[in-house]
Chains A and B, each alone.
Chain A
Amino acid sequence: MPRMASFFLLFLAVIAPSFAPLAPGQEPLHARMDALIEAKADGPLAAQSANAEFLRRIYLDFAGRIPTVDEVRAFLADADALKREKLIDKLLAGEEYPRRMGQVFHVMLMERLGDHKEWQKYLQDSFAANKPWDVMARELLNPSAEDQATRGAALFFSKRLENYGQNPVDVPGMVRDVGRLFMGIDVQCCQCHDHLFVDDYKQEYYQGLFAFVGQAQLRQGESFPAISEKPLTKKVEFMSVFVKAPKTVGPYLPGLKEVEIPVFANGEEWEVKPDPQKKIAGKLKFSTLKLLSEQLPTADNQLFKKNIANRLWWMMLGRGLVHPLDMQHAGNAPSHPELLDLLADELAARKFDMKWLLREIALSKTYQRGSQAADDAAAESPRASYRVALEKPLSSEQLLASMTTATCETARAKPDELQERFAKAFANPPREPEVEFSPTVKAALFYLNDSVVLGWLKPAPGNLAERLAKTMEPDELAEEMYLAILTRVPSEEEKKDVADYLAKHAANREIAIRNLLWSLLASNEFCMNH
């Protein structure tokens, strides 16, 4: 595509006015989603999910765990035609939703770089209050140390401003992350030159963003994550490694106007002067972080609203409409551009109410589609067609919560220590986004030999193993086991295999049950969200 045309497209994407919000009488958003998906599906759609399948999926997505046996039995027995919608609302209003969303955004924003109590509190409180995303973005991009309720948000920057051994602070990485996580664009390559393949990504995108965040400093000695800011006094100077023409740019976001840098007399930059001895970080008259927090997260910023819409879509559907999630540009068009626009605009019109969008997505037929195709060939349909529901990997947090739920060990389990243990085994290394399914040898070994996991399979008061040990009837045992672990009833073949296996090992029943339990817990069906 000729350069001018691609630039024009991006120009449009960035500048063009947003769609009007839902007018009364119009179809609900989820119906419009389905229409757009089905229009491009280009092939047979898989059947809708069975109740058990839906139940498990929605619990994992909104409560961060599989349902208990009781919850499964109750839902499957419920005759109410609207039970799915009611369950959605129940989970969204429930206590586990803020914790689950806090975990999702923790992994998304911190990418396992680190954690802090105040950060967790910030995230959970924000989701408990259903804080709009633009408000959260403002608090993340310009954290306030004075506001106890939101100061934990500073971890986003503070962790990235820490030194690791002899290595200098990775400021380019920090700039890149702001672009990727708040606007869905990865301008890493643009540090040194215009992106070689992505026409839209110019050096100004990196350098302009750098001008916004490059003055952030780590504030040491506080019990909570904290940063401070140095004054920006002049434009950023840069030069392409290919075209040796020196350029400058001030704080600049793609599609918006470059910010003028005011000139202050020396010492006059401060509204409140910093005093390291009194632990006063100071307050700048011209704060680029403050300006960033005002300019970036707005209803008019296409990149901003598309990014969040895309990420929430990915969370529910297993793939971004723009995929990878941080490569939004003309050469990597969304699979469903109209849909992305729709979601972005609707969300913006609803003042970035994330719970609202998640609810709409959950109500859609696309979300509730089954994950088994009609046959093996249909199973390999293009992911972006959504003809079949995509399998989503479970995060280490979901795995822990689901394993303890399945084995009825939740009461005894110590969440903080275990969270770390599970993250060590299952989470990606720092800065590796947890987006795709990537099993590791380390995780397999953990499943095979970890003491805690294997410990849960031994009978203990109140746990699943104990209950099964007391269940003598093999079919009953099979049903209890499958409901508890795989959130469904076993097939006839499965029941027979269980009965045969138990009969074969009648002399060593406890071990046999343990092997059965382990095999289901370690199975793909358990460790995927499908």
Chain B
Amino acid sequence: MNPLCKPWEHALSRRQLLGAAAGVAGSLGLSNLLHPVAAADMQKKAKQVLFIWIDGGMSQLESWDPKPNTLFGGPFRAIPTSVPGIHVSELVPRSAKIMQHLAIVRSLCTQDNSHSAGVARIQRGDPKNRGVTYPYFGSAVAKLLGAGTSGLPPYVWIKPGSSGFIHQDAGFLGPKFGAVAFGDGKPPENLVLHDSVTPADDDERNVLRAAANARYAKNRRKQVGEATSYVYDVARTLMKRQDLFDTTKFDPKDVERYGTHEFGRHMLQARKMLEAGVTFVKVNSYGWDTHGDNFNGHLSLMPKFDQAFAAMVQDLADRSMLDNVLVIAMSEFGRTPRINGHIGRDHWPEAWSLVMTGCGIKRGLAVGETNAEGTWVKNQEFDIGHMFHTWFTALGIDPAQTQYDNGGQPLPIAHDGCHAVKELLS
């Protein structure tokens, strides 16, 4: 034991010893406790999720399940992909080239055709109604997988619009499992060190604070100290990771590859968050509800999605991260085969698609079929509950053995009438 360290330093929680970012650990003289190899190992085994939410309803007919030259097929063509037998819309050529990494599900049939309820139901896995508000997938994974060793919040949301701490996603799990949202790449309020405080001062004042807390903790319950330590640790880790959201620090080559548009920027930031070890990163893209001008709309939107999505998957593969990171891209429903007078497509939960890859997922295949006109599912109909079962299983969480405990009320983590789709699991 270092003769210079004070007794109170050993009252720190185990979480802090393992999880503190180098900055805090260094200032407390603990960095030599983290065995470098062990840390890297832990990083390697840690599972993460990238959840790309295409809000409004991406058209499956203009993306993953094209029906070219049919009654409802619309103007676009289909193109072959790197996987023989699988064709996708001409609007996603880059994804087509990396189809060997991807798994498409074409036979989703879900219950809700409204945005207001549908978005939440899908992101909650639409479990059976047990009178509680279920957590969104991100909050669920934050709870089930934990924050890992990054010292960063377990659930980060990159979205257009405002930043902040979004508690709603957490449902009955409580606000602790909500999302930390970066709106347009900007961090939540107060994330940047105030300009009246130098980093050295910041370290000093926090050392003083920790000392005061250690004194206070004497002969008192541990709970208060542990809880505040954790939030301050995460706060300070976030503060030290400006590189995660200072877009001027992004490599210009990456920026060009992902696209200078909003979605490209946000996906690049998401990759940085994943590289930093955030357990669950959600990226939102809004404006896909093309009830009007669906075709010019998707002509403009899809290639931008395609560019960033393909760049991300390729980057994850190149960085050997694809086996640890579960990647999902989806909407709350698809779009109607029928084309309306606004030259648009309306909502269609009856037969739609999503794409996934990564941790635990078999790659280079398309599961489920719709009929020739794309109106209904022909075989292997799945609800979102099946997807949740599949995703949890892919992450190494067994839905049959794992339950939430909501103040004594046991709750399944996914719809108990559904099951994992074996074909999708590697």
What residues of chain A have their CB less than 8 Å away from a CB belonging to chain B? 165-167, 188-189, 191-192, 196-197, 324, 371-376, 378-380, 391, 428-429, 432, 437-446, 448-451, 454, 458, 494, 497, 501, 511, 514-516, 518-520, 522-525, 527-528, 530
Contacts and interface: CB of A to CB of B under 8 A. Distances in A.
What secondary structure prevails in chain B residues at the interface with A?
Answer: helix
A511 B197 CA distance: 9
B409 A518 contact: no
A428 B216 CA distance: 25
Interface stretch (B54-62, B97-105, B228-236, B268-276): B228-236
A428 B178 CA distance: 12
A424 to B, nearest CB: 8
Contact of B224 (A429, A514, A528): A528
Nearest to B407: A324
Contacts, number: 146
Contact of B201 (A442, A497, A515, A525): A515
B220 A379 contact: yes
Contacts of B243: none
B150 to A, nearest CB: 14
By Cβ-Cβ distance, the 5 closest A-B pairs, closest first, are A519-B208, A444-B235, A445-B190, A523-B212, A166-B116
Give chain B's interface residue range (CB within 8 Å of chain A): 35 or more
A165 B168 contact: no
Interface in B218-258: 218-225, 227-228, 231-232, 234-236, 238-239
Contacts of A520: 212
Given A449-B190, A519-B208, A439 B231 contact: yes
Contact of B213 (A438, A448, A524): A524
Nearest to A446: B190
B295 interface: no
A518 B205 contact: yes
B318 interface: no
B135 to A, nearest CB: 14
Nearest to A523: B212
10 contacts: A166-B116, A189-B131, A196-B409, A378-B219, A379-B220, A438-B227, A444-B234, A515-B208, A519-B206, A528-B224
Contacts of B222: 379-380
A373 B219 CA distance: 5
A448 B238 CA distance: 12
B224 A501 contact: no
Contact of B175 (A189, A391, A432, A444): A432
A442 B188 contact: yes
Interface of B: 115-116, 129-131, 153, 164-165, 167-168, 174-176, 180, 188-194, 196-197, 201-202, 204-206, 208-209, 211-213, 215-225, 227-228, 231-232, 234-236, 238-239, 407-409
Contact of B212 (A196, A374, A449, A519): A519
Given A197-B409, A441-B231, A441-B238, A518 B209 contact: yes
Contacts of B236: 444, 448
Nearest to B221: A379
A372 B215 CA distance: 11
Contacts of B190: 442, 445-446, 448-450
Given A444-B234, A454-B194, 7 more contacts: A380-B222, A432-B175, A441-B235, A444-B236, A448-B194, A518-B208, A524-B225
B52 to A, nearest CB: 24
Contacts of A378: 219
Contacts of B239: 445, 448-449
A519 B205 contact: yes
A191 B129 CA distance: 12
B425 to A, nearest CB: 33
B127 to A, nearest CB: 15
A494 B211 CA distance: 10
Contacts of A530: 220
Given A192-B131, A444-B235, A454-B197, A437 B409 contact: no
Given A440-B165, A448-B202, A524-B224, A372 B218 contact: yes
Given A439-B231, A441-B231, A442-B188, A429 B409 contact: no
B208 A444 contact: no
Nearest to B217: A524
Contacts of A451: 194
Nearest to A526: B212
A523 B219 contact: no
Contacts of A166: 115-116
A448 B190 CA distance: 8
A248 B318 CA distance: 64
Nearest to A380: B221
A192 B192 CA distance: 48
Nearest to A191: B131
B235 A494 contact: no
B193 A441 contact: no
Nearest to B207: A519
B116 A167 contact: yes
B408 to A, nearest CB: 7
Contact of B219 (A192, A379, A440, A511): A379
A458 B197 CA distance: 12
B354 to A, nearest CB: 24
B116 A165 contact: yes
B227 A523 contact: no
B288 to A, nearest CB: 17
A518 B208 CA distance: 9
A448 B194 CA distance: 8
Nearest to A172: B131
A68 B272 CA distance: 48
B175 A524 contact: no
B201 A449 contact: no
B174 A438 contact: yes
Given A373-B219, A439-B228, A441-B234, A449 B208 contact: no
Contacts of B221: 379-380, 391
